[in-house]
Amino acid sequence: MRNTPREIVGSRVRRGRVLATGLALAGAMGPALSGDYAPMTRDQALAVLAGAGGDQRPDLRNRDFRGQDLSGVDFKGADLFGTHLHGVPLKGAKLARTNLDITILRGADLEGADLRGASIFGVVLVDANLKGADLTGARLIADLQRANLDGAKLVQGRFGADMKNQPMGKLSTLMVSAKLRGADLTATDLSGCDVRFADFTGANLTDTDLSRCDLRGADFTAADMTRTRLTSATLDGAKFHQIKGRDTLVGLDSAKGRDAAIFD
């Protein structure tokens, strides 16, 4: 099913949760808002990237790359705002410091991609493959339902709900049923996120902020939860088998559904 930016801008409701991308962005979307993408091939993109010099940021806004293979491409911090990348192979691509706001990456293959410091705001990443990807320091407000983030590096990521934009609706990240086995989320802000039934088995959640998160049914078996913040989180059915750092958990007393969570 094709997703257009019109589906993204405004609000996305998921079982009472809202993923709003910000109405202020709508006026800047240009062609992407109407779905008038400009098709571009891999070779054409490489030519644009090769022609960018100095501090110039390559302009790849509102392009349609469906059907192309962009694996291994060095995007040199390009502006990819509003780009259509549904199902596009981006395995091992260098996307550090790129602008990926309002892109469509549903089902995209980003395994091993370098996304350090990237801006990924209002993005559809449902069913995407981010296994082993590096999102260190990235800003992420996205729909990551069923995405594979096994072994991904999410250190110091900024994925928390944006409390400054409440008039436009709650800005938060969805990771319902996502796979994060062995992922490194050290010092990452996930506050207000929906991670129901997500698999954090063996993940590193040291100093991670899960305040106000919906953790129902999530699996934290063997995870390192040293100083993990659970203030006002919802824990019904969450599994905390053999976690490291249980005695250092912050805010557990204020969490909801503690009696329905599984600790051992």
pTM, entire model: 0.85
For residue 169 the two structure tokens come to: 């609706």
For residues 215 and 235, the answer to whether their CB atoms sit within 8 Å is yes
- Which pLDDT value is given to residue 17? 42
pLDDT at position 6 is 40
Lowest mean pLDDT among 6-15, 53-62, 96-105, 211-220: 6-15
DSSP symbol at 84 = B
Taking only the tens place, the pLDDT of each residue in 17-75 is 434 433 333 333 444 444 578 999 999 999 999 998 777 899 999 999 999 999 999 99
192 Cβ neighbours under 8 A, 6+ residues apart:
160, 161, 163, 170, 172, 211, 212, 213
Type of residue at 128? A
Domains of the chain (ranges plus CATH)? 1-199 (2.160.20.80)
Looking at every residue in the chain, the average pLDDT score rounds to 87
d(CA 153, CA 180): 10
Percent of all residues in the chain with a pLDDT value above 90, rounded to a whole number: 79
Pairing between β-strand 17-20 and β-strand 11-14 as defined by DSSP bridges: antiparallel
Which region among 2-6, 169-173, 237-241 has the lowest average model confidence (pLDDT)?
Answer: 2-6
Q: What is the pLDDT of residue 37?
A: 85
What pLDDT, on a 0 to 100 scale, did the predictor assign at position 163?
53
Q: What is the mean pLDDT of residues 196-213?
A: 98
